[in-house]
Structure 1
Amino acid sequence: MDRLPRLACSDPRLTRLIAIYETLAPATLGALEALFAPQARFVDPFNDVSGPAAIRRVFEHMFETVDAPRFEVLDAAIGAGGGAFLLWNFHFQSRDKQRTPRCIQGTSHLRFDEQGRVLLHQDHWDPARQLYEGVPLLGGLLRRLREHLAAR
Structure 2
Amino acid sequence: MPDTRTTRLVDAYTQLTRDNLPALLALYAENARFKDPFNDVRGHAAIGRVFTQMFEELREPRFTVQVSASEGDNAFLTWELHFLRERGEAMVIRGATHIRYSPNGLVQLHRDYWDAAEELYAKLPVLGALMRALRRRLATPQPG
Is the structural similarity TM-score above 0.5?
A: yes
Residue segments in structure 2 that go unaligned for 5+ positions in a row:
none
For residue 151 of structure 1, report the CA deviation from its aligned partner: 2.2
- SS in structure 2 opposite 1:137? helix
Give the length in aligned residue pairs: 141
Q: Which amino acid aligns with 2:97?
A: S
Q: Which of the residues 40, 55, 58 maps onto 1:66?
A: 58
1:82-121 equivalence runs, <5 A: 82-95=73-86, 98-121=87-110
Aligned to 1:34: 26
TM-score normalised by the chain length of structure 2: 0.92
- SS in structure 2 opposite 1:74? strand
- Cα deviation code 1:105-132 (max 9, x no counterpart): 1000000001110011011111111111
Counting aligned pairs with the same residue, the percent is: 48
CA 47–10 in structure 1, closer or farther in 2 if over 3 Å, else same: closer
RMSD: 1.3
Q: Is contact 1:32–1:56 with CA below 8 Å preserved after alignment?
A: no
For residue 145 of structure 1, report the CA deviation from its aligned partner: 1.4
Matched, 1:44 2:36: yes
Aligned to 1:149: 138
- Cα deviation code 1:74-133 (max 9, x no counterpart): 101124x631100111100112xx221101110000000011100110111111111111
Residue segments in structure 1 that go unaligned for 5+ positions in a row:
1-8
Q: Is contact 1:110–1:120 with CA below 8 Å preserved after alignment?
A: yes
Q: Is contact 2:2–2:68 with CA below 8 Å preserved after alignment?
A: no
